[in-house]
């Protein structure tokens, strides 16, 4: 008990306690603390900085949750005598019917319950029915209080560690209070009867920062003439079109931070066309909840919350995680890289990762940490990457690259037709520009395509799989995330879709089998600028196939830019003529 009291005094006794507990969270000193939940409440602004208001604020938040729960968790049978039976009956479809609301709530609770049942299945604590009921009630009340967002998969994995930390602190408090009489402050803050109430308050404040990462609402895009004049023609969909906040965030981390701190790793990920959405959305949304064991995860959350309620350190933990496995990534092919990213390898000292993140963000005020890299047999991760590719296969109608090339060529010639015959030397519509010719089916068939099963890659620009295949009687085709539609009779156009939803991305953090850690399975990873010597002949043939198709895409991009340039020139001349004509008329 005396050790219990001494820790409380060390953390919260002085008036300058806030800076001290923030430093304790960042330095990993809360790993064995009995007051981690109290520190988290201060970090998340559940408790004010003024300690004299802690008790009143806590009672206020608990009373608010009681009202929320009473409002949203209703039993229509209890109100049977107070309602009009014409409206309030089990068959009523009226919006004001309590029975109608009850059935809608039942469907929402059922969806939440499915995720709650899968929460930390390896821990007995989360298998208890009482704990599952608390998780379900908290998530249901939050969804009803935030009708615009409702419940999204992954929220249960943000709530679960909060519930666990509160439970651990309550258990420690009960053991300590058996031998002595604790202070009134401790009695109120660590009262086990309000476990659910406190968890809801902490989760709600955490979601104020994390809410945009779960929202599917697209950011606004400028409309009208201004958008047409300032946008870049034929740019990537996520650069100009609507995009959700989480996709924008992970793209910025890889395109800016990773590029700044390790250009070689950035170029390797781009060459393999591994989009950051595939692994990064889960990393950020769950605050790395599936990448680390729970005890290590709590240390990471200590630092994230203590640093800032805006969770700014998340971006640099993201980069530090990539740098820890950077040698293995650079020495690996597509499938192995995907396995490493979706099944992140274990880290011996989680605090070293946090020190690396702090140094990356502010190297002047943080010491350079000891640099160490992951080195292990990659066969396990190669298998996991192959499993993930097989799970995420999408059945998209293949798109003939020749047909797309021909369509774009015809479209481009029609765009520049009004300027043909002038002094610019543009070819007429029916002529074939020598620089934009497309190989025929016979030419494409003559390429050295290996007789392999379907291979998958993820395009960075569209974040969708590219399906490479070879048929017996058809030319080689490439599946792009495109929708073919007809705008006018005889004219075909295609639209590239934006990034797909990754709400249901699967994959956990299962550890490698014991055989993967044997001494004779270890190997030294070379930091060479090229890893062509490590790939076999089959991979070389696949690389040649991808390079050929990438060349076709580059040809299409060049033609698109050429058409855009001609269009801009034509529009500029037309506008100039209109201005001159208008001035002459006025004159």
Q: Does the domain formed by 244-396+410-415 have CATH 1.10.472.80?
A: yes
Please enumerate in sequence order all residues whose Cβ is within 8 A of that of 477, keeping only pairs 6 or more positions apart, or say none.
398, 399, 400, 401, 469, 471
Tokens of 363: 């190297």
The set of residues, in sequence order, having a beta carbon less than 8 Å from that of 254 and lying 6+ positions away, is: 266, 269, 276, 280
pLDDT of 359 reads: 96
Q: Is the pLDDT assigned to residue 70 strictly greater than 90?
A: no
Under the banding of pLDDT at 50, 70 and 90, the label for residue 385 is confident
- 433-465 pLDDT tens trace: 333 334 444 344 344 434 343 344 333 333 333
Q: For residue 176, give Cα distances in angstroms to 74, 169, 205.
A: 38, 11, 29
Residue 30 pLDDT more than 50?
yes
Cα radius of gyration rounded to whole Å, the chain: 30
507: left (phi over 0), alpha (psi -120 to 50) or beta: left
Percentage with pLDDT > 90 across the chain: 43
Which of 416 and 56 is assigned the larger pLDDT? 56
Residue 534 to residue 525: CA distance in whole angstroms: 11
**pLDDT for position 469:** 38
- At 549-562, the pLDDT tens digits run 776 776 777 777 77
pLDDT at 343: 93
> 3-state SS string over 45-104?
CCCCCCHHHHHHHHHHHHHHHHHHHHHHCCCCCCCHHHCCCCCCCCCCCCCCCHHHHHHH
Q: Hey, what are 518's tokens?
A: 């044997």
Label residue 189 exposed, middle or buried (CB < 10 Å: 0-12, 13-18, 19+).
Answer: buried
- The pLDDT of residue 494 is 39
What's residue 300's pLDDT?
Answer: 97
Answer whether residue 206 shows pLDDT above 80. Answer: yes
Residue identified by tokens 């292990």 is 376
Instruction: Please say whether the beta carbons of 563 and 414 come within 8 A.
Output: no
Domain range annotation of the chain: 2-78+96-214, 244-396+410-415
pLDDT at 523: 39
pTM of the shown model: 0.65
What's the mean pLDDT when you consider all of the chain?
73
* pLDDT range class, residue 519, cuts 50, 70, 90: very low
pLDDT at 422: 40
Of 520, 549, 546, 543, the residue nearest 530 (C-alpha): 543
Dump pLDDT digits (tens) for 139-178. Answer: 999 998 998 888 999 999 999 999 999 999 999 999 888 8
Angle between helices 17-26 and 36-43 (to 10 degrees): 110
The answer to whether 112 and 143 have CB atoms below 8 angstroms apart is yes
């Amino acid at each position: 008990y005396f050790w219990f009291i001494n820790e409380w005094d060390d953390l919260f006794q002085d008036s300058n306690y806030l800076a001290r507990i923030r430093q304790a969270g960042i330095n990993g000193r809360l790993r064995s603390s009995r007051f981690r939940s109290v520190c988290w409440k201060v970090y998340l602004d559940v408790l004010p900085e003024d300690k004299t208001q802690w008790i009143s604020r806590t009672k206020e938040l608990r009373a608010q949750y009681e009202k929320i729960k009473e409002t949203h968790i209703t039993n229509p049978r209890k109100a049977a005598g107070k309602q009009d039976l014409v409206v309030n009956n089990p068959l009523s479809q009226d919006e004001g019917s309590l029975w109608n609301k009850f059935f809608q709530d039942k469907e929402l609770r059922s969806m939440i319950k499915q995720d709650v049942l899968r929460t930390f299945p390896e821990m007995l604590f989360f298998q208890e029915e009482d704990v599952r009921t608390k998780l379900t009630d908290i998530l249901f009340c939050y969804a009803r209080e935030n009708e615009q967002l409702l419940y999204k998969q992954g929220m249960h994995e943000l709530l679960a560690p909060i519930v666990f930390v509160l439970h651990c602190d309550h258990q420690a408090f009960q053991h300590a209070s058996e031998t002595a009489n604790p202070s009134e402050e401790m009695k109120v803050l660590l009262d086990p009867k309000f476990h659910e109430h406190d968890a809801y308050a902490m989760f709600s404040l955490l979601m104020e920062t994390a809410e945009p990462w779960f929202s599917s609402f697209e950011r606004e895009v400028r409309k009208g003439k201004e958008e047409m004049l300032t946008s870049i023609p034929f740019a990537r969909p996520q650069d100009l079109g609507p995009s959700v906040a989480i996709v924008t965030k992970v793209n910025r981390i890889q395109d800016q931070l990773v590029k700044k701190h390790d250009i070689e790793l950035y170029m390797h990920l781009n060459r393999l066309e591994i989009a950051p959405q595939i692994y990064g959305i889960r990393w950020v949304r769950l605050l790395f909840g599936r990448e680390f064991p729970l005890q290590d995860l709590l240390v990471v959350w200590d630092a994230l919350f203590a640093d800032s309620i805006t969770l700014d350190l998340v971006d640099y933990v993201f980069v530090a995680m990539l740098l820890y496995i950077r040698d293995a990534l650079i020495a690996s092919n597509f499938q192995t890289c995907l396995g490493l990213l979706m099944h992140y390898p274990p880290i011996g000292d989680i605090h070293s990762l946090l020190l690396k993140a702090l140094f990356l963000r502010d190297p002047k005020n943080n010491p350079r940490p000891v640099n160490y890299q992951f080195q292990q047999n990659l066969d396990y991760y190669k298998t996991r990457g192959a499993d993930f590719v097989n799970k995420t296969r999408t059945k998209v109608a293949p798109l003939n690259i020749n047909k797309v090339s021909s369509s774009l060529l015809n479209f481009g010639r029609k765009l520049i037709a009004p300027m043909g015959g002038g002094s610019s030397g543009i070819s007429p519509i029916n002529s074939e520009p020598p620089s934009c010719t497309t190989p025929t089916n016979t030419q494409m068939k003559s390429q050295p395509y290996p007789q392999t099963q379907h291979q998958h890659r993820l395009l960075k620009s569209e974040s969708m799989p590219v399906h490479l295949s070879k048929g017996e009687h058809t030319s080689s085709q490439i599946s792009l995330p495109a929708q073919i539609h007809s705008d006018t009779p005889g004219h075909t156009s295609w639209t590239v879709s934006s990034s797909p939803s990754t709400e249901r991305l699967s994959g956990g953090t299962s550890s490698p089998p014991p055989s993967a850690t044997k001494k004779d399975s270890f190997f030294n990873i070379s930091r060479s600028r090229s890893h062509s010597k490590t790939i076999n002949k089959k991979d070389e043939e696949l690389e040649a196939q991808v390079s050929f198709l990438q060349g076709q895409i580059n040809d299409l991009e060049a033609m698109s830019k050429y058409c855009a340039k001609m269009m801009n020139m034509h529009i500029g001349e037309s506008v100039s003529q209109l201005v001159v004509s208008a001035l002459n008329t006025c004159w």
